[in-house]
């Protein structure tokens, strides 16, 4: 993998990780287009640079994480179903679902759902004043819906935002809960995946990882700030349209 390819993948990771468009799906498709060899390092790289994106959320929401322990308990409750199902389903998902066709179809289906959700959420008022007040039951169900994001192309952000809306949050709260839930979910998923695929890095590969982490951090920081403004002003429908268009384009690309 070249330095240019490294930067492109890291930008895609940072820009898409917290948007409801599937970062994993975009990187799989981008790697396919750039004809990047799907070896052990590339798979590890695509997972490891998520840590850069996670750090952006930790710093952006540092005050929220330091306000008290309530939010940790709610996030922990939401993480439970993901941890259990993810652990059990990991071998099957890695073996059979990581391919471009699954990604493209998931993008299209998820896009349709986002458009439908957007029309519904316009008039929806939140059932809770602050995220910390969300019930443990609702937090658990958001985590349960997040499990669908294990299918490449579905998008963890899309799944948790949809889960938040279905469980009484308004669009801004659903988006912010998605951001916060990303921290334990992605730390655990990234750590587990790295443990399952141990490799010895060369100096050049360590250099590429460093570049990827930095670029992913910067682009994720920018993407999160812009995404919140877009959601508040325009909702989710435009991300739905984008997903459908990208999914169709890649199905055509794969066909020919």
Q: How many domains does the chain have?
A: 1
Say whether 129 sits in a helix, a strand or coil. Answer: coil
Instruction: Give pLDDT, residue 193.
Output: 76
Q: Which residues of the chain have pLDDT under 50?
A: none
Give backbone dihedrals phi and psi of 252, rounded to 5 degrees, phi first: -65, -45
Of the candidates 41, 6, 4, 43, the one whose C-alpha atom is nearest the C-alpha of residue 24 is: 43
Domain region containing 210 = 3-255
Instruction: Give pLDDT, residue 145.
Output: 94
Of the candidates 118, 115, 184, the one whose C-alpha atom is nearest the C-alpha of residue 146 is: 184
User: Using CA atoms, how far apart are residues 118 and 18, in angstroms rounded to an integer?
Assistant: 17
Instruction: Give pLDDT, residue 12.
Output: 94
């Amino acid at each position: 993998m070249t330095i240019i390819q490294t930067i492109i993948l890291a930008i895609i990771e940072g820009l898409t990780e917290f948007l409801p468009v599937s970062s994993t799906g975009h990187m799989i498709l981008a790697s396919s287009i750039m004809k990047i060899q799907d070896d052990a390092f590339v798979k590890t790289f695509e997972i490891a640079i998520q840590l850069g994106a996670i750090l952006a959320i930790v710093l952006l929401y540092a005050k929220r994480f330091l306000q008290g322990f309530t939010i940790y308990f709610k996030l922990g409750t939401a993480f439970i179903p993901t941890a259990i199902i993810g652990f059990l389903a990991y071998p099957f998902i890695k073996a059979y679902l990581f391919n471009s066709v699954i990604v493209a179809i998931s993008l299209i289906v998820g896009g349709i759902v986002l458009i439908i959700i957007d029309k519904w959420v316009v008039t929806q008022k939140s059932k809770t004043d602050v995220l910390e007040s969300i019930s443990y039951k609702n937090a658990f169900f958001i985590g349960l819906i997040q499990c669908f994001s294990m299918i490449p192309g579905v998008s963890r952000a899309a799944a948790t935002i949809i889960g938040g809306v279905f469980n009484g949050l308004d669009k801004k709260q659903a988006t912010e809960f998605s951001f916060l839930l990303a921290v334990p979910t992605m730390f655990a998923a990234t750590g587990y995946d790295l443990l399952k695929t141990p490799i010895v890095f060369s100096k050049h590969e360590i250099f590429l990882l460093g570049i990827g982490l930095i670029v992913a951090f910067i682009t994720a920081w920018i993407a999160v700030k812009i995404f919140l403004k877009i959601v508040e002003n325009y909702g989710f429908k435009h991300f739905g349209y984008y997903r459908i268009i990208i999914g169709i384009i890649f199905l055509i690309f794969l066909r020919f």
